[in-house]
Structure 1
Amino acid sequence: MRAESVSLDRAPSLNSPSGNHLPMTRIKTLLALCLLPGVAVSALAEETYPVHPDSVAQEGVPRGKVEGPFKWRSEIYPGTVRDYWVYVPAQYDAAKPACVLAVQDGLNRARGWKLPTVMDNLIHAGDMPVTIGIFISPGVVPAPNEDAQPRFNRSFEYDAMGDRYARFLVDEILPAVSKSYNLSDNPNDRAIAGASSGAICAFTVAWERPDQFRRVLSTIGTYVGLRGGNEYPTLIRKTEPKPIRVFLQDGSSDLDIYGGSWWVANQDMLAALKFAGYDVHHVWGKGGHNGKHSTAIMPDALRWLWRDYPEPITAGHSERRRTDLLIDGQEWELVSEGHRFTEGPAVSPAGDLFFTDVPNGKIHKVSADGTVSTFVEDSPGANGLAFGPDGRLYCCQGKTKRIVRYDAEANEEVVLEDVTTNDLTVLHNGQGYFTDPRNNQLWHFTTAGEKSVVDKGIEFPNGVVPSADQTLLWVADTRGRFVYSYQIQPDGKLLYKQEYGHLHRTDATGQSGADGMVVDTEGRLYVTSRMGLQVLDQLGRVHFIISKPYDGWLSNVTFGGPDFDTLYVTCGDRVYRRKINATGAMPWQPPVTPPKPRL
């Protein structure tokens, strides 16, 4: 989509408050001071902006009301108390769901932006829909005595990465306001706004929950190294585009301190959003870290954010990605649901998909026509699955401490006994590997029943898969951030262990959540993780992150379909599929030589 830019700022004035020009000697003194280290122009010249006509109360425009403050004690942020206010437009009709504008930093921020008046005018003019404003203050944990300071939660709530604040809004504040007002639950009808740390908070809410909020207003946004926000430009470039519309404002005299340069960071955000194909608009000025410029442009910012409403906001598309996997119109499709915890997807040479329901000890089969049936009724603790070159299905059977295999009629044969297992792979030459996270070990085995430990020390070894040419073995560490790489020797032993694949991780635990893996014929490695399906090139660098289909544990992945060009993932209690621009390299097939990697 097209990115637009307008400059509504005005250059700082050297005029005196009375409107008379300063004496030339004073001007020279100011200019000389500007050359001194650490002295910013914004500190020497007052920012002035024209008052927008839509920020002034207009005759004949019905006025809404602001109710509150209402006190809120949060469970998601234990011990905190805060106030929030609700703006109700005069046009509100309880019979019709109203749109929502959530604003961080409470009524002070809303009044600073003149939001009640601006919303009165824009709603009356039809430039934005009938919208309930919710102005929310950051939480505070009150001091236990008069000699102590409260714990101020603003940075923790606003600057943090992850979905905690989004859950606070969705699970606590919106339901509370909905008791009194009819709020729309359509994400296309919800906007969120903030300044500084409140701005990155607004973006994070939409980024984490585009199923709840899709319109973001960000002014002097704190996309710097305070709590990880500096990672956003990289994540935006790598992650599958989300259905979000973003308005950015900043000034060239914004903060430049220990956490970074706000001005540079906002420009990086714009470049990343444009690269990834987002619907983004920006207004740059020369001002500092304050609300003067954003107040002057607020009516136009909201007007742009709600333009073409109620047309739905959709995800854009980047034309410049080095790794281009997605196909227009191909989204995640539900294959099967109603299980307890799905794992171990594996595809047979005939194209049938098999997966496990671990707690129920079942192995299910999805035929080429989409029919789901139970292949094995009782395989206790069945977890990882893999087909071998013999056409049989190998299974990590956790509760019996065995690896077993099944023929086409589901007849079971024991391969290994007295082993703790999680996931496994079987190569074309009949050699296999399985992970033992309980004992931090990696095992080699053969289809004839031989086994030996080939590595120790990974904190939680989980998924295991060979490279497309079957000369390297990759092992995921769920509790770390790396995928380990080894060179496979002719006798099955492993050499040259290295922390190779560098994964992105969330703030939730500091762990990547790396689990199942699969490779394609181009040599790319697909790793399920907390952040989504991370796609790495042969050099171990994440090029792209495909979003999870569902808010569950993304446990494993494989290729399937007649041409092995469809991803199948197990996620929570469900199985999904998605056709992409790649072909899987299955371990039981002969090795494939991928192209030489681009350095």
Structure 2
Amino acid sequence: MAQDPPHGQVIAATLPPGQFYPGTPHAYSIYIPAQYNANHPIPFTVFMDGASFLREPIRTAQVLDQLIAEHAIPAMIGIFVDPGVLPAISPSAQNRYERSFEYDALSDRYSRFLLEELIPAVATHYRLSTSPDDRALAGISTGAAAAFIAAWNRPDQFHRVISFIGTYVAMRGADSLPALVRKTEPRPLRVYLEDGSNDHIVAGEPYGTFYAGSWPINNQVMLEDLEFGGYDVKLTLGQGGHEMKGGAAILTDALRWMWRDYPQPIVPHAPKALNQPGWDSRGSIFSTILPDEPWQPVGTSSVSSIGVHPSGDVIVADAQSGSIQRLDSTGTTHEIAHDNGNPTALTVGADGRIFVYQRARRKIVAYRSTVAEDVATGVDVAEMTITQKGRLYFSDPAQHRLGYVDTAHPSAASYTPLAMDDPAGVTLSPDQAMLVVTDAKGRYSWSFQLGPDGRPRNGEPFYRLEVKDDSTTSEVRGVVEDSIGQVYFGTPLGVQVTEASGRVAMILNGPEYGAVGSLRFAGPHYDWLYAIHKGKLYRRHLRTFGVAVDAPKKPPLPPL
């Protein structure tokens, strides 16, 4: 007879309403294993639709008891949370049921609810691990979508996902997840998928009976796109419908698979088929990134703007201190000037002059050494770029226009009005014949041709960017273009990279959680991408290259 394992304790609790779901309490239960030791941080799994996981036929607490006793999984706490219900104001009124709003949305609201409200509430009583490798999410149906979406949005916090009969269909946008997964640089996630071949399927309608789409097909597509990205992923497809008989039967196997080789960290890997004949490398993440070379912090801890010297050295400005510094390829910094005009934007000319926008004085100045010379006065500037011939372009968000100054023959700035709400980043094409201008409050960024006189013309909303689920704007600030015409946009979703034809082909993960700001290619070979994130400077080695301001280069014919 099998020995009865030590039994954990299950305690019910209620999380009071918080900032993310106003007026809405959440019922939850905590499973504490018999092996819990308050002297050591303990792994944990958050189960969405928590009450269902604790009931028959799933009986998760008993499954955890057995697997922990067998040492098949580490001793862990289980947090079983139910979706919120906003109580009605009277018996004659109906409650508001939050399940779809919480679970199906692609935004980071639910992940923030977990990280800022639910998990801290549990952590006041139990010593929870802060390692993302020790944190898992699991869910059923839309709860499964919530588990994946929360980990997808915060891979710095969660590395493991178990999805039963996952609703990756057109409820609130989860049907777009497969395409997003395929385009985005792989994240450190391990994913177990389960579904039934008869989930919302009848004999006369083999492709699904529900308005949102087909559960079996979309789970299969999720598998394929995760495999495309080299993820550690598994799909178990049984014969059941939209119920948990199949999930309950394989929960033990799913947990064993999810926590196998623990405590080895979960890290991204290139797909196994990457180098096989026939692999289409066009627009591929793996044609751009070096998987083993992630972002790294460099130089000073406070940066407001970055430019690049023709040598490839980085020039940075700190608006707070006024320091203008030069960083060489080793990350060593040297102060080259001090500017007390609140320097918030800069660019570097082919002759090595450093052009700085002084926000406090509303003017652009040029440094040849430590002395500044006026270039343009009475201007408002978000970001600047300059051609080999010294034509300087800047975005003016205050007046919704693009400014232009010929630094070889300084005069009053000329302007082109823009059909944009918030013109922000500006960059030149490698041949310096085109100009890209981003719109932080729009979805589209614009392409302009530069005429013989240097004036922008023939503008089009050419670049269609991905946006956050809870926003209609791209929030793009920084932009830079590489030698083959791919354009890199700094956004809250990461660094979005478009083909020269204007389509987003890939999304590089940002240095940290949150929006990416200004971008520049630099280094001796211009194969380091530099980025500002929350006032800090980061860099990343890539397979692609930028172009020096003093050496314009015609890009190849773009893919059409």
- TM bucket normalised to smaller: over 0.9
Matched residue SS, 2:398: helix
Q: Which moved more, 1:70-79 or 1:469-478?
A: 70-79
Q: Distance in 2 between matches of 1:154 and 1:208?
A: 19
Q: Which residue of 2 aligns with 1:228?
A: 173
Q: Which residue of 2 aligns with 1:287?
A: 240
Runs of 4+ with deviation above 6 angstroms: none
Q: Distance in 2 between matches of 1:484 and 1:134?
A: 47
Q: Which residue of 2 aligns with 1:159?
A: 104
CA-CA distance at 1:273 after TM superposition = 0.1
Matched residue SS, 2:304: strand
Which of 380, 393, 397 does residue 358 from structure 2 map onto?
397
Q: Distance in 1 between matches of 2:527 and 2:168?
A: 37
Judged with a 3 Å threshold, the aligned counterparts in structure 2 of structure 1 residues 228 and 488 are, in CA distance, closer, same or farther, namely: same
CA-CA distance at 1:454 after TM superposition = 2.0
Q: Which residue of 2 aligns with 1:138?
A: 83
Alignment of structure 1 residues 260-409 onto 2, 5 Å: 260-318=213-271, 319=274, 320=279, 321-322=281-282, 323=284, 324-339=287-302, 342-407=303-368, 409=369
Q: Distance in 2 between matches of 1:552 and 1:364?
A: 26
Which of 233, 240, 246 does residue 185 from structure 2 map onto?
240
Q: Distance in 1 between matches of 2:246 and 2:342?
A: 61
Q: Distance in 2 between matches of 1:299 and 1:572?
A: 42
Q: Distance in 2 between matches of 1:410 and 1:211?
A: 42
Q: Distance in 2 between matches of 1:482 and 1:551?
A: 23
- Aligned alpha-carbon RMSD (Å): 1.8
Q: Which residue of 2 aligns with 1:489?
A: 451
Q: How many percent of aligned residue pairs carry the same amino acid? A: 40
Q: Is the 8 A contact 1:361 1:381 kept in 2?
A: yes
CA-CA distance at 1:552 after TM superposition = 4.4
Q: Distance in 2 between matches of 1:358 and 1:554?
A: 18
Question: Counterpart amino acid of 1:91?
Answer: Q
CA-CA distance at 1:397 after TM superposition = 2.1
1:211 aligns with 2:156: yes
Aligned residues: 539
1:80 aligns with 2:19: no
Q: Distance in 1 between matches of 2:316 and 2:470?
A: 28
Q: Is the 8 A contact 2:342 2:360 kept in 1?
A: yes
Alignment of structure 1 residues 6-45 onto 2, 5 Å: none
Residue-by-residue CA offset, 1:428-448 (whole Å, 9 max, x unaligned): 122221111111111222112
Judged with a 3 Å threshold, the aligned counterparts in structure 2 of structure 1 residues 71 and 536 are, in CA distance, closer, same or farther, namely: closer
Matched residue SS, 1:217: strand
Q: Distance in 2 between matches of 1:192 and 1:231?
A: 20
Q: Distance in 1 between matches of 2:314 and 2:402?
A: 26
1:577 aligns with 2:539: yes
Q: Is the 8 A contact 1:462 1:478 kept in 2?
A: yes
Q: Is the 8 A contact 1:362 1:380 kept in 2?
A: no
Residue-by-residue CA offset, 1:343-379 (whole Å, 9 max, x unaligned): 3211112332112233554433323442234443334
Q: Which residue of 1 aligns with 2:35?
A: 91
Residue-by-residue CA offset, 1:319-356 (whole Å, 9 max, x unaligned): 255331111421111113542xx332111123321122
Residue-by-residue CA offset, 1:527-578 (whole Å, 9 max, x unaligned): 1111111111110111211111123442101111111111111111210111
1:200 aligns with 2:145: yes
Q: Distance in 1 between matches of 2:97 and 2:333?
A: 53
Alignment of structure 1 residues 52-201 onto 2, 5 Å: 59-112=3-56, 113-201=58-146
CA-CA distance at 1:59 after TM superposition = 4.1
Question: Counterpart amino acid of 1:485?
Answer: S
Larger Rg: 1
Q: Is the 8 A contact 2:467 2:474 kept in 1?
A: yes
1:421 aligns with 2:369: no
Judged with a 3 Å threshold, the aligned counterparts in structure 2 of structure 1 residues 359 and 228 are, in CA distance, closer, same or farther, namely: farther
CA-CA distance at 1:412 after TM superposition = 0.5
Residue-by-residue CA offset, 1:255-278 (whole Å, 9 max, x unaligned): 332222222211111111000000
CA-CA distance at 1:499 after TM superposition = 1.1
Q: Distance in 2 between matches of 1:201 and 1:360?
A: 43
1:250 aligns with 2:195: yes
Matched residue SS, 1:438: coil
Q: Is the 8 A contact 2:402 2:417 kept in 1?
A: yes
Q: Is the 8 A contact 1:103 1:110 kept in 2?
A: no
Q: Distance in 2 between matches of 1:553 and 1:360?
A: 23
Q: Which residue of 2 aligns with 1:594?
A: 555
Q: Distance in 2 between matches of 1:259 and 1:440?
A: 40
Q: Distance in 2 between matches of 1:114 and 1:123?
A: 15
Residue-by-residue CA offset, 1:374-416 (whole Å, 9 max, x unaligned): 4433342322211112221112222211111111x22101111
Q: Is the 8 A contact 1:72 1:84 kept in 2?
A: no
Give structure 1 stretches of 5+ with no counterpart: 1-56
Judged with a 3 Å threshold, the aligned counterparts in structure 2 of structure 1 residues 67 and 414 are, in CA distance, closer, same or farther, namely: same
TM-score, normalised by the number of residues in structure 2: 0.92
Q: Is the 8 A contact 1:398 1:422 kept in 2?
A: no
Q: Is the 8 A contact 1:552 1:573 kept in 2?
A: no
Judged with a 3 Å threshold, the aligned counterparts in structure 2 of structure 1 residues 374 and 152 are, in CA distance, closer, same or farther, namely: farther
Judged with a 3 Å threshold, the aligned counterparts in structure 2 of structure 1 residues 520 and 156 are, in CA distance, closer, same or farther, namely: same
Matched residue SS, 2:298: strand
